Amino acid sequence: MLVPMFLMFAAVSETNVPPVPGLCMAPVPVDHDMPGCYQTGTVELDGAPPNIFWQIYEFSTLEAAQSEAARHRWASVAEAHAKVWLYVIGDQFENVMGGVKRAGIGPLAVPPGTGTAHFSEAIFPPGMRTRVHSHPGPEAFYVVAGEQCMETPSDKRMIPAGGTYVVESGPHIQAAPKGRRNLVLILAPKGVSAVVPGGEWKPTGFCDQ
């Protein structure tokens, strides 16, 4: 029986863990079920307050989501995981009309200066995990399906479908022992890469089980 390559790497040294396809920065491939993390949009947060909330709504049609997005200063629409999503950046009580609210995540600290909101979708087959990495601002997740494992130097957590998680800063890994799909927001200073590979911290193997 053949073992998927990412499972073969799960128990070896960190330097041999393969990179996640797309690295959350490449565009979504034609095959929307391709494993990896791919960027679905960006929003420049000109004039944003120091702390914001990420509101996630599911809409029945792309047209309805786009119409509602036009009412908000900082908003993005994505088609991901066979659904239509409206992301609204604002305060905790942002007035969103239509759609079904799936999550409100925050407060999230906007990096000094002009920040950029990077939105991504990710599909991890069973056993896949990231290398150790960090970001220049907070990273937030909403788990659409499956279960996501998170490990940071100070936390180990399994997040079920419908759950959320925020990494404020510092090195971390994420994994999917049984597979998962999620939505991702990374805040970064304008013009700065949203993903910073590497770090001295070593994960314990909690997410490799």
Q: pTM for the complete prediction?
A: 0.91
Residue 7 lies in a domain: no
Identify the domain containing residue 151 by its residue range.
22-208
If pLDDT is split at 50, 70 and 90, which confidence band does 1 have? Answer: very low
Residue 2 domain flag: no
Number of domains present in the structure of the chain? 1
Q: What pLDDT is recorded for position 4?
A: 38
Q: Quick check: is 90 in a domain?
A: yes
User: Is the pLDDT confidence value at 16 over 80?
Assistant: no
Domain of 75, CATH number, reads 2.60.120.10
Q: Which residues of 74-93 are buried (b: 16+ CB within 10 A; e: fewer)?
A: bbbbbebbeebbbbbbbeee
